Amino acid sequence: MNLRPQHTSLLVGLACLAMPLLSNAQTKPPIATYWMSAETSSGMNMTGGAPSMTDMASLMLGGGMNSTSKHLLLQLGSQQSSSDEPSADHTIPSSMNMGSSLPLRTPRKAPVVKEKHQEDVPDNYEKPKGRLLLFWGCGAQAGAGQPVIIDFAKVASGQSWPSGIFSRRVSTQMGPAYGRSKTYGDWPNEKDSTRVPNESSLRGEHVIKGNYSPDIRFNLDTTDYLAPLDISMSKQASGALNVSWKSINNATGYFANVMGSNQAGSDMVWWVSANGKEFGEALFNYIAPSEVAKLIKDKVVLPPSTTECAVPKEVMAAAPNAMLRMIAYGDEANFANPPRPKDPKAAWNPEWVAKVRVKATAMQPIMEGESGGRGGRSSSDSTPSVGGAIKSLFGF
């Protein structure tokens, strides 16, 4: 049982946490809420839980994982409705290199979510087998009490989950979405899904106009896409893997995760850079700077001054071929009309609010014999095994 895409999904599903709504100090909700979410991703591009064919070909030929791309999500929610077909556009600055505007479109119908029933289970369904080994903390050696082992067969037979796996809830943000607003529009959409150029910048004046919301206008002078995560990996004599990266300006903190499997595929391995059992997938979402500061204080997130972290030798021994995921949290910009009063007791009834948030993410394979590669690239003496390692990792 190798770490195929379905196994990755299982690990992610096991790690998911509830996402509570953040408290709101407003006297009443604004008419319109607008969010811009900008991500810089690097390394392996994942399609359907597996690496793209381009990345596969590059790895098998000895190439590296140096691809970088930028992504943008625009979301407009309004408490007003339109007498005509809902329409809205975001006029963008020339620095974005994407034309003059981006069309926000309202989905024609809400996505249909089919409820799972017992009769939906396939006839050939098998209960999960094998084990999940959980590790945490940066260091050459795993700390006391590691790993926590979850035997899927025993859990399927009724054994309770180990206590303390999720030691805290992470406050994540919940913005505009279809179904949470009277009228909603977003980009990219079926009408326009223009690729974001790598040279794109968010800086400049932004204007959002629609027939179901008040005009929204704000200027970005310091908030922009984060630089990509530039990661190097080197194997230590002890067997631990040293992961280092270049410091990113305006990053508020970092978090890393390794997931993989043993050669036989009977054990799945999960490691996080936190100093405790923090396996929540919420840590790979956009997180507000104030929450990141709390997570740093609790030693869940690495401070922005950190530029390296060792993956314990026990993790590498248990999963010689694995995948590294990493996130750099970014700052955010918030706007409102009228602005929030300085006096917390003063009434505040904004017409609209807007949020711009950024993050940088990376995903790249860790090859057996990794020694000094940058961006996921193995050294020359391990290059011939790259194709086999990827095939083993994803079950191709």
Distance CA 203, CA 240 (A): 41
pLDDT at 271: 96
207's enclosing H/E stretch is strand 204-210
Q: What angle is formed at CA 196 by the lines to CA 191 and CA 198, rounded to 5 degrees?
A: 165
Nearest one of 189, 256, 196, 188 to 69, comparing CA atoms: 196
Query: Is 119 inside a domain boundary?
Result: no
Please tell me the pTM assigned to this model: 0.81
Query: Is 116 inside a domain boundary?
Result: no
What sections of the chain are H helices per DSSP? 5-15, 53-60, 152-156, 289-297, 313-318, 386-394
Tens digits of residue pLDDT in 312-322: 999 999 998 89
CB proximity list for 290: less than 8 A, separation 6 or greater: none
Task: Give the three-state DSSP class for 75.
Answer: strand
Distance CA 384, CA 140 (A): 27
pLDDT at 70: 97
Burial of 380 (0-12, 13-18, 19+ CB in 10 A): exposed
Query: 66 is in which domain, residue-wise?
Result: 5-21+28-111+126-394
Query: Is 338 inside a domain boundary?
Result: yes
Query: Is 93 inside a domain boundary?
Result: yes
Neighbours of 355 (CB within 10 A): 21
Query: Is 120 inside a domain boundary?
Result: no
Task: Give the three-state DSSP class for 275.
Answer: coil
pLDDT at 168: 67
Number of domains in the chain: 1
pLDDT at 277: 84
Question: Phi first, then psi: what are they for 75, rounded to 5°?
Answer: -140, 120
Query: Is 121 inside a domain boundary?
Result: no
Query: Is 118 inside a domain boundary?
Result: no
Q: What is the DSSP string of 13-37?
A: HHH----PPPP---SS--SEEEEEE
pLDDT at 1: 37
pLDDT at 63: 44
Tens digits of residue pLDDT in 11-21: 444 433 323 33
Q: How far, CA to CA in Å, does 335 sit from each of 25, 101, 206?
A: 14, 20, 12
Spans in the chain with pLDDT lower than 50: 1-3, 5-26, 46-53, 56-64, 116-119, 121, 371-396
Distance CA 138, CA 167 (A): 18
Nearest one of 170, 192, 164, 202 to 39, comparing CA atoms: 202
My answer on whether omega of the bond before 303 falls inside 30° of 0, hence cis, is no
